[in-house]
A = this chain, B = another copy of it.
Amino acid sequence: MRGWLDDAPSYVPPVKVGAVMRALAVGRVVESKNDDFPVGAHVHGTLGVRDYLVTDGKDLRVIDTSQVSGPEHLAALGLTGLTAYFGLMELGKPTEGETVLVSGAAGAVGSVVGQLAKIAGARVIGIAGSDEKCEWLTGELGFDEAINYKTADSLTKAIASAAPNGVDVFFDNVGGRVLDAALANTARNARLVICGAISDYNSTDRAGIRNYPRIITHSLTIHGFTIGDFGDRLPEGMKALGGYLAEGKLVSRIDARDAEVKDFPEVFGALFEGTNTGKLIMALPGRE
């Protein structure tokens, strides 16, 4: 969303000054002249930050909130959960007994990736930026090991120690030196799924990936992707993730903040102050 506020070319046009802020949201139908959207139904789509809107329903989807709540449709079943699902299952393809390494593991994408890798029968190692996050990973989320990259003397050695037989799948949200350290620990035929490079997005002087000859010597495959690559398969991912949530196999952490439309900038700011825990969602009280 931050990128949409810059007046620069991106994967979608910028939001104009004075326009409704673009946002994925879950809403409820209060009046209807369209049988596909009965009154009372919950709908999911790019509704924007506002109290009400009139729409022909184009690009909106009615969702079932009987088993999976509206907010979960924006978190575990939203873009972050779906990114984790398709990136890991379709590109990383972890198998029973393999070792999966995840960076940004306590984030909205990484935390789902690690849990899906456990469901697939893999041994899972997470990289995160605080001891508290690492404890959450190995505790509530069931990761096998977690590495605090901020306190590790050598990230490369810490990964080697946690993955003595090498890393079979690396799901990367961070890039930069984390990616380089992971590359140095890849097993033969490892798959690297490059989902984000948060460490380098604002960098003007990138260090560069130096361990790339390992791509040849270890017959690695590297996949980059955005969720748009799986645009026609999202319902399939939602069904799988919804099932795991309902069975209690997937833990999702949502930080829902009650607020009015006018408070959006303040709520949004929590992302940049780092005060949110889990997927940050703004809730309009009384609209459930």
Contact = CB atoms under 8 A, between A and B. Distances in A.
A197 B216 contact: yes
Interface string A218-236: 1111111110010000000
Interface in A71-85: none
Nearest to A224: B215
Contacts of A218: 224
Given A216-B225, A217-B224, 7 more contacts: A11-B217, A180-B208, A196-B216, A201-B213, A208-B210, A215-B222, A216-B224
Interface in A159-206: 175, 179-180, 194-197, 200-201, 206
Contacts of A221: 221-224
A261 interface: no
A207 interface: yes
A271 interface: no
Nearest to A215: B224
A208 B223 CA distance: 19
Interface in A93-150: none
A207 B211 CA distance: 10
A91 B224 CA distance: 16
B224 A219 contact: yes
A264 interface: no
Contact of A225 (B201, B214, B219): B219
A195 B207 CA distance: 23
A52 interface: no
A86 to B, nearest CB: 12
A216 B208 contact: no
Contacts of A175: 212-213
